[in-house]
Structure 1
Amino acid sequence: MTQTQHKPLTKTPTLPPHFLKQPAVPLESFQTPVLECFVERSKCLQYDQLLNVLVGSEDGLFLNVYTPALTGNDSCGLLPVMVYIHGGGFLSGSGDAFLYDPVHFMEQRVVIVTFNYRLGPLGFLSLPEAGIEGNAGLKDQLIVLQWIRNNIGQFGGDPENVTLFGESAGAKAAYLHYLSPVSRKYFHRVICQSGVACSDLAFQVEPSEKARKLAKCVGYEGSSDQEALDLLLKTPAKELFKHQLATLTDSERHEELQFPFRPVIERPHPGAIVLQHPLDALQTELDPPIPLITGCNSGEGMIALTKAQHHLAEYNAHPERLLPPMLRLPANANELGKKVKQFYFQTRPITSDMLPELLDVLSDNEYVMATVTAAELVAKFQPKVKHYCYYFTHDGRWGNLKRLLNMYHLPGVCHGDDVFYMFSSALNATLPGDADEVWVRQAFVRMWSNFAHRGDPTPDDGDLAEGLVRWEPIEPCAGKSYFKLRCLQIDRSLKMVANPFLKRSTFWRELFRTYGYGSRKLPE
């Protein structure tokens, strides 16, 4: 494997004013004729959620290229390119090899690109009234895709065969690019793991008001958006990150997971990426039809549960807390919460013995129903798209987040733990895998790489001989009232399953159609 680590992507901004104001500008040339890129550099400025400290730098826009063979040294021609967008709630994370070493992908003859993008207020603050349109982090990602189009051939990659994939917030970002006419010309397939941007949960709540709150946190007392922005630009970036949680709305403060700065739907302007709500965009046939993989893990809500398990009495007293944020709360929210409580817990109180059931609620609220809803919309309105869905249930020893959260007593695969079955990670260094772990990793990497090569995760009979099964795409259902969710269940053995969440998804679908799916109504 040849790796070019942390190649500078953009011009370093002049400080101050800091990167909040300035759009990223691609580098035209390096300061030296030969630039050595073998050491990882700074990640983008962020609040480290594990260490509880600020880390990184405003000069953090770098990318990494991993290739099994440079151009001219390979008889097989240019190789498929896989571009990974890291997760972290749009407020933390990086493309570093600490978590995302793609060594196993090199065996499958693909080129891997990982990268950093601006996070938190520097990446997603939006104040259109003062000229800050938002989505700077998404626009950093677009610059990566444009750089790949122009340069990846020098690293043995094929710019005409690019797969965009990501997990969690990275998956939501990939989905937004999938729907954007500005972005989608730069890639040819998409994989979204534990995240699709089809509900209001993908978007920032009251973005302009958040920007104004942030200005007040650093001393602004007036009412002019331009003056507020001027003060934000003069404030050290680290101070902005220290105050970002203070911008949360009252409703967000009651959520188990809190991500203040997220993408926004932009008003029309040059460079805009997200101009439509995803539910609206999905109901117009996209051209060209780009093959798609989406899916989720069996215990997605486990991170939220670490906080929720300490508030069981509140869930019993106020069952409306069981309602998902994307459900517009009606006047009878308490009665509706009782209906949800009855569905998941019957007549029993929510106690520590009922944590598996509460895990299902939290998983459905944030991840499962978004995955199912998006899959149904694609099946109904994008009939030409080959759409593959998966359900990851292998609860193995490489579940590092589950281990760090001390949730081993619960069944299910924690949100984010699928990543450790694709990438080599420092967290796996002390956990040598048994035969099951290695097989699941090989299956994951093989199917993802097959998809990058040919747009089909199981295209060859040779794959079936190695224990894979034919992964069938979801059948289009345009003009039909019945939607069948066809999933590949990924475990120590693989199998196709139909409607794995049928009872739960039917329950929620009826509520969403009655009360609304956030700011939108679900189509019949």
Structure 2
Amino acid sequence: MWFHTLFLCIVIVVQTDGHRPQGYVDTAPKSTASETQAQDGPRTVSSSGSFLGSWMETRRGRRFEAYRGIRYAEPPVEELRFKPPKPILRYDEEVDASKEGPACPLPATKVTIDEDCLRINVYTPGGNNTKPLPVIFFIHAGGFYSMTGRSDLAGPHYLLDRDIVLVTINYRLATLGFISTGDALAPGNNGFKDQVVALRWVQQNIRAFGGDPDLVTITGCSAGSRSVMLHMISPMSKGLFHRAISMSGSATSKAPIPHHQFDLAQKQVRIMNCSQTNTSEEIIACLKTKSYRDLGYSLAGFFDQFNSDPVGLWSAVVEPDFGQERFLTMDPTDAIREGKMHAVPYIISQTRNEFFWKALNVLKNETLINTMNEEWERIAPISFMLPPENSSVAVSRLKQAYLGGKKLVKDDASAQGLGKLYGDAITGFPTHRMANLMCRHSPHKVYDAEFDYIGNHSHYEDPDTKKPIGVAHHDDLIYLFTLSYRFPTIQVSDSKDSQMVDKMTAIWYNFARYGDPNPRDSELPELSTLAWPPMTPTDRKYLQLGEKFSVREKLFEDRFHVWEEIYPIQY
């Protein structure tokens, strides 16, 4: 099983006493009645080559075609390690896409990992559609250091009841994907460049799978959500997508993003016991001698010992110009504010409670409570991922705002206050900032939402009752994808969970078609009560996605005002 990593759904089974992955049981769909043997699978041919797939079945019994584990770039090994991806433009032999590909290197003991991991998965209804179908391109979560696009983490069995083509991908993780030394040896962002090459693959090949290359919706949760926003300002991504959905994550936060993360590169070589770590040449030379497995399993060494914080490590960087194709040329906040983006219709959301469970980890442990109380000024900047500038002022203000200036104790007030502080610091405020920037500067409509539904399962369940007690980070994914690594498939029934699957997939389907989630006809009865207004600077309405839909305004702004005062920007 996975030990509870950063962005909860991270290829894990959630625990309550940490958040780093240790491995998980491989529960990818097996060859049963829903999937035939490879030789009986479907085939398709694109301008790049021919592909052999397999058959799967949705929760409503619809048979569909699955093409998994297709290489979209050359294996990033040996001399290609730490280099931008090299796209595969032609397949000389038929590609066997009938089974799962490997995950990118990470700490997983019971799933195949490999450095040759740049794989794409395509799921399609197939058949003789009268016109190409909308494409939903999903970028997985995991803090840029965990998870995969495999079908046990991004299962297609709910969305493929809709007339869409679903694409999921792997991209390089952690040091292998995001090392950035600030010079030509490692300018950074290779994991994002992997995503771009996958999007370009879609443009070249998706018609052969029944998809419309002119109707691509990029979607993502957590780290994937941050990726989605970055593609809207990356010069590499222009023209590759036409709508966007970001769930619980933003690249616009408390401070501008860096131009390098040399400190993480140095930490990596110390963890790997490299003898020379002073220059980028020494760092890259040493890390090229290490096995991908050792690099993947070194993740635990990056976290502070307090509550396994911080949950965020690698990030995008503004790349200096060394003559390379740059993924990011300016800070995201500046790019949005100056209109230097290729904006599209946009849905932005967060969950009601996000990272509330991290407070429970602290409050059930006397040592952690005492450490946080006694060393608040040292611990808080790490746990809440605060910029170093004026951090002492920030942690004092935040303690007053969320905890009434009081010490932590084992009571509900501390749990509520610290839980909201964790959630707002990691996800809530950055997402709020992104929504408010985009609704002011995008020429397209921006739809804001709060996911507020508690079903039978959650990424955090009470260890005694085994029941959900909040709406945790990633809980919205439960109703969009089958997450067979952890949760049972939600069967078709009159249950509220089954109805939520229908509602969530209908919203994505409608938005992928029209760039507007609202129903246009009676075709989608699940959305008959939906009337979702776009967010504007002066009318900041949002949709509360609960058991029933309701329109509200000023999402959590009573809490976010203190962040705006501490980290002000010109909107």
What RMSD, in angstroms, separates the aligned Cα atoms of the two structures? 2.8
Q: Render the CA deviation track for 1:127-186: whole Å, top value 9, x for unaligned.
A: 243521111111110001001111100011000000000001111111111121321310
CA contact (8 A) 2:506 2:526 kept: no
1:98 CA displacement: 0.7
Q: Partners of 1:5 and 1:332 in 2: how far apart? A: 49
What does residue 66 of structure 1 align with?
123
- 2:225–2:247 CA contact under 8 A, matched in 1: yes
Letter in 2 for 1:180: S
Q: Partners of 1:253 and 1:54 in 2: how far apart?
A: 29
* Residue 253 (structure 2) aligned to one of 199, 205, 212: 199
Partners of 1:484 and 1:405 lie apart in 2 by 41
Give the alignment partner of residue 174 of structure 1, picking from 224, 228, 232: 228
Check conservation: 1:450, 1:456, Cα contact below 8 A: yes
Corresponding position of 2:67: 4
Measure, in 1, the Cα distance between the counterparts of 2:507 and 2:134. 14
Match of 1:239 among 278, 283, 294: 294
The offset of 1:488, in angstroms, is 0.5
8 A Cα contact 1:43 1:116, kept in partner: yes
Aligned to 2:57: none
> 1:6 and 1:12, CA in 2 relative to 1: closer, same or farther beyond 3 A?
same
Going from structure 1 to structure 2, the CA distance change for 1:454 and 1:60 (only over 3 Å counts) comes to same
Q: 1:150 aligns with which of 197, 200, 204?
A: 204
Does the 8 Å CA contact 1:372/1:485 hold for their aligned counterparts? no
The answer on whether the counterparts of 1:306 and 1:405 sit within 8 Å (CA) in structure 2 is: no
- For residue 499 of structure 1, the aligned residue among 531, 554, 557 is 554
* Partner of residue 394, structure 1: 453
Task: Please name the residue that 2:472 is paired with.
Answer: 414
Larger deviation, residues 83-92 vs 127-136: 127-136
Change (3 A) 1:188 1:202: farther
Shift of 1:375: 1.4
Q: Does 1:266 align with 2:266?
A: no
Match of 1:519 in 2: none
Q: Given the alignment of the two structures, is residue 523 of structure 1 paired with residue 570 of structure 2, yes or no?
A: yes
Match of 2:531 in 1: 470
Counterpart position of 1:298: 352
Contact 1:322 1:340 in 2 (8 A): no
Distance (whole Å) between structure 1 residues aligned to residue 467 and residue 88 of structure 2: 50
The residue number in structure 2 matching 1:516 is none
Aligned-partner SS, 1:3:
strand
> 2:143 and 2:255 mapped to 1: Cα distance?
11
Match 1:122 to one of 158, 167, 176: 176
Does residue 369 of the first structure (1) align with residue 429 of the second (2)?
yes
Shift of 1:307: 3.9
1:23 aligns with 2:77: no
CA distance in 2, matches of 1:223, 1:200: 29
How far did 1:259 drift?
3.9
Deviation at 1:404, TM superposition (A): 8.2
Does the Cα contact within 8 Å between 2:510 and 2:517 map onto a contact in 1?
Answer: yes
SS in 2 for 1:305: helix
1:149 and 1:331 map into 2 onto residues whose CA distance is 45
CA displacement at 1:284 relative to structure 2: 1.2
What is the rounded CA distance, in whole Å, between the counterparts of 2:554 and 2:361 in structure 1? 30
Q: 2:488 aligns with which of 429, 433, 448?
A: 429
Corresponding residue SS for 1:97: coil
AA matched with 2:395: G
- The residue that corresponds to 2:444 in the other structure is 385
In the alignment, the residues of structure 2 paired with residue 81 and residue 341 of structure 1 have an alpha-carbon distance, to the nearest angstrom, of: 45
Q: Supply the AA of the counterpart residue of 1:20.
A: R
One-letter identity of the residue aligned with 2:66: Q
In structure 2, what is the equivalent of residue 455 of structure 1?
515
1:330-374 Cα distance to aligned partner (Å, 9 max, x none): 2753xx534433322336542222212211111111111111111
Q: 1:438 to 1:254 in 2, by over 3 A?
A: closer
Q: Deviations over 1:377-417 (max 9, x none)?
A: 122333x2210011011011132x11387796774211111
The one-letter amino acid paired with 1:391 is: E
Separation in 2, partners of 1:466, 1:208: 48
Question: Matches of 1:59 and 1:317 in 2, distance apart?
Answer: 46
Which of 403, 418, 440 aligns to 1:345? It is 403
CA offsets 1:83-130 (integer angstroms, 9 cap, x no match) = 000001111111111121122222221100001111111101112435
C-alpha distance in 1 between matches for 2:283 and 2:387: 33
- SS of the equivalent of 1:425 reads coil
**Alignment-mate amino acid for residue 98 of structure 2:** F
How has the CA–CA distance of structure 1 residues 166 and 225 changed in structure 2, closer, same or farther, with 3 Å as cutoff? same
Q: Aligned with 2:239: secondary structure?
A: helix
Q: Which amino acid aligns with 1:377?
A: L
C-alpha deviations, 1:196-222, integer Å up to 9, x for none? 111268957961232233334332326
Q: Distance in 1 between matches of 2:310 and 2:351?
A: 17
Could you tell me which amino acid in structure 1 is paired with residue 200 of structure 2? Q
Gaps of 5+ in 2: 1-63
How many corresponding residue pairs?
495
Once the two structures are TM-superposed, the CA of residue 16 in structure 1 deviates from its matched residue by 3.5
Once residues 60 and 291 of structure 1 are traced to their aligned partners in structure 2, the CA distance between those partners, rounded to angstroms, is: 31
TM norm structure 1: 0.87
CA distance in structure 2 between the aligned counterparts of 1:225 and 1:197, rounded to whole angstroms: 26
SS, match of residue 370 in structure 2: helix
The letter of the residue matching 2:287 is: L
Moved more, 316-325 or 156-165: 316-325
1:275 corresponds to: 329
Verify the 8 A CA contact 1:8 1:63 in the aligned structure 2.
yes
1:90–1:289 distance in 2 versus 1, CA, 3 Å:
closer
Partner AA of 1:275 in structure 2: T
Deviation at 1:327, TM superposition (A): 4.6
Change (3 A) 1:509 1:200: closer
SS in structure 1 of the partner of residue 217 of structure 2: strand
Tell me the distance in 1 between the aligned counterparts of 2:345 and 2:487. 31
Q: CA separation of 1:39/1:232 partners in 2, compared to 1, >3 Å: closer, same or farther?
A: same
1:441 to 1:265, Cα distance in 2 relative to 1, 3 A: same
Post-superposition shift, 1:255? Answer: 7.0
Q: Which amino acid aligns with 2:207?
A: G
